[in-house]
A and B are shown apart, each in its own frame.
Chain A
Amino acid sequence: MKINLKTSSVLPGFGPALGFTILYLSLIVLIPLSATFLKSTLYTWDQFWTTVTAPRVLASYRLSFGAAFIGAVINAVFGLLVAWVLVRYRFPGKRIIDALVDLPFALPTAVAGIALTAVYAKNGWIGSFLEPYGIHVAYTPLGVVVALTFIGLPFVVRTVQPVLEDLEAETEEAAVSLGANRLQTFHRIILPALWPALLTGFSLAFARAIGEYGSVIFIAGNTPMVSEITPLLIITKLEEYDYAGATSIAVVMLVISFVLLLIINGLQWWSTHRHGHGR
């Protein structure tokens, strides 16, 4: 990479700062990540393709992406609701609840995993209520959805909240004085303004959920073909010393993650340029 200074600056330290940044980034992130791609070339294209499209692997993609998608949709709907309630209404305990929304960021995933399993198991506090209706959560794909919803919960709330706070009340009042009812105002005025942030939050939650491991493995039951997520399959291959197999699946996940990262960056750019708001 050739670096040209566009403007000369009186501030010191550009060279060493950028040099250290690139060195550290390369050593910790870029070189190790590229090792994964190089290692996958140990396989021929046919071997690679057979590995990453084996029935058990395909079933794990369906579960990982499907459950991550459902979890992100749940979070988009309820995250919007939580953000709305936190920004617009006053109720007792609001500040504490606002702070606790970030719990999934702070709580170690293993702790979340065993706690959710205990709550949603047959004899758990919530699981025992669902049991009579024949709804089993723990050790089923539904359990994976619950864990991934937990993990992605803060993303939508925290991306929508600042946009909602900055929304001009005047626009809503104008809509009302022009004869719109509350539902029309929400649908025509508020929701369009929130779309970029909502989509960004949704994608962040989705991207995080795809790779999630710690909170899922306790509640999933990990039955091959049924409730086995893709990251677990990578670990299983590693434990069988099948390095090429583990690496091949990892490469598929990495490529998908990178594409998602580009989409999220695009969404955030869109969001920033519409409302002067980024994360």
Chain B
Amino acid sequence: MTIATVNNYHNKVAQSRAIAEPTWFRWLLIGTALTFLGLFLFVPLFTVFHEALRKGLGLYIAAFNEPDAWSAIELTFIAAAIAVPLNLVFGVTAAWAIAKFDFKGKSVLITLIDLPFAVSPVIAGLIYVLIFGLQGWVGGWLSEHDFKVIFAVPGIVLATIFVTFPFVARELIPLMQAQGKDEEEAAIVLGASGWQMFWRVTLPNIKWGLLYGVILCNARAMGEFGAVSVVSGHIRGMTNTLPLHVEILYNEYNYVAAFACASLLAFLALVTLALKTLVEWQAKHAATTVEE
């Protein structure tokens, strides 16, 4: 999954005869693999767009011609616009400390950063309810000061930050570890300040990995359902993100509108995959030019 993956295989062997399968067997394997991917990936993906447009373009557009849909889209972007930059800053800072310095407890720290991936999204929402909810640790104090976290936007933002927490860090740590610290040390010895070193040496070296992490982080931030569902309270036009809006429409048997909103998210996912592939190619290209 890391960006450092390079497809060496075809360069190394031009499919040597001795270790190749017979043609019919090869196509059997390709056919089986594609059937599996078709049943689980391609057919469901196609269905989203098919169901959305089934009753014509008019009804499709009507699904977005609604204030609730717009406020859901807006909230989805707000949550991502806060969560992604925060986790970006955290990811760079954590990777700097972990990849460039030696200290005790480093592997424990790396495991702790990965924790949010191991936690069920539902539990990610629950933990904030336990702290900020009315029964929670600071819930009473918050309600006295008329500040709502749970069933309000701050809770949604917090839950989004939690589920996207490790994305940038776990992309940058192996990358920066592999790059070592020689270039940065040279910059400092030659008299660069800390910030000059960061902007001129570190950042150009990690830009593709950074972008890759941000793309994945953003996709998850905009698509998160479970964690946000627990803290949101599903108040229409107020605390509904786009994935939650899809759920409400679907449960109201308003399938066309539900799939119309879902198609927007599916489109975002496809854009994400395209950008991600582009960044992988760029990184591969950058790696080969450096080697040459």
Chain A residues proximal to chain B, CB less than 8 Å: 1-7, 9-14, 17-18, 20-22, 24-25, 28-33, 35-36, 39, 78, 81-82, 84-89, 91, 95, 97, 99-112, 114-116, 118-119, 124-126, 146, 149-150, 153, 158-159, 161-162, 164-169, 172-173, 176-177, 182, 185, 207-208, 210-214, 218, 231-232, 234-235, 238, 241, 243, 246-247, 250, 253-254, 257-258, 260-262, 265, 278-279
Is the CB–CB distance between A35 and B137 below 8 Å?
yes
Query: Which chain B residues have a beta carbon within 8 Å of chain A's beta carbons?
Result: 1-2, 5-9, 12-13, 15-16, 18-19, 21, 26, 29-30, 32-34, 36-37, 39-45, 47-48, 51, 90, 93-94, 96-98, 100-105, 109, 111-123, 126-131, 133, 135-137, 158, 161-162, 165, 174, 181, 184-185, 188-189, 194, 197, 216, 219-220, 222-226, 229-230, 242-244, 246-247, 250, 258-259, 262, 265-266, 269-270, 272-274, 276-277
**Contact, CB under 8 Å: A33 / B225:** no
Q: Which of A126, A167, A260 contacts B118 (CB 8 A)?
A: A260
**Residues of chain B with a CB closer than 8 A to A260's CB:** 118
Question: Pick the contact of B16 from A14, A87, A169 — CB < 8 Å?
Answer: A169
| Cα distance A112–B131 in the bound complex, in angstroms | 31
| Contact across chains for A99 and B273 when beta carbons are under 8 A apart | yes
Q: Are A21 and B126 in contact (CB under 8 A)?
A: no
Give chain A residues whose Cβ lies under 8 Å from the Cβ of B7.
87, 165
Given contacts A14-B101, A211-B122, contact A261 B114 (CB under 8 A): yes
CB–CB A257/B118 < 8 A: yes
Which residue of the partner chain, among B37, B112, B127, B246, contacts A97 with CB atoms under 8 Å? Answer: B37
Residue of B whose beta carbon sits closest to that of A257: B118
For the complex, give the distance between the alpha carbons of A241 and B6 in Å: 51
Contact A149 B112 (CB under 8 A): no
CA distance A105 to B215 in the complex (A): 11
Top 10 closest A-B pairs, CB basis? A211-B120, A108-B223, A214-B225, A213-B226, A106-B269, A17-B97, A12-B194, A231-B122, A32-B127, A115-B44
A116 touches B243 (CB 8 A): no
- Our count of residue pairs bridging A and B at CB distance below 8 angstroms stands at 311
Take A3-B104, A81-B33 as given contacts and tell me if A100 and B273 are in contact as well, using a CB distance cutoff of 8 Å. yes
Contact yes or no, A33 B222, CB < 8 A: no
Closest chain-A Cβ to B40's Cβ sits at a distance in Å of 5
**Contacting pair A213 B225 (CB below 8 A):** yes
Task: Report whether B243 and A214 are in contact in the complex, using a CB–CB cutoff of 8 Å.
Answer: yes
Option from A111, A173, A241 in Cβ contact (under 8 Å) with B223: A111
* B161 touching A28, Cβ below 8 Å: yes
Please tell me which one of the listed residues A115, A176, A250 contacts residue B48 in the complex, with CB atoms under 8 A apart: A115
Known: A107-B269, A279-B1. A10 touches B174 (CB 8 A): no
Cβ–Cβ contact A114 & B5, under 8 A: no
In contact, B43 and A11 (Cβ under 8 angstroms): no
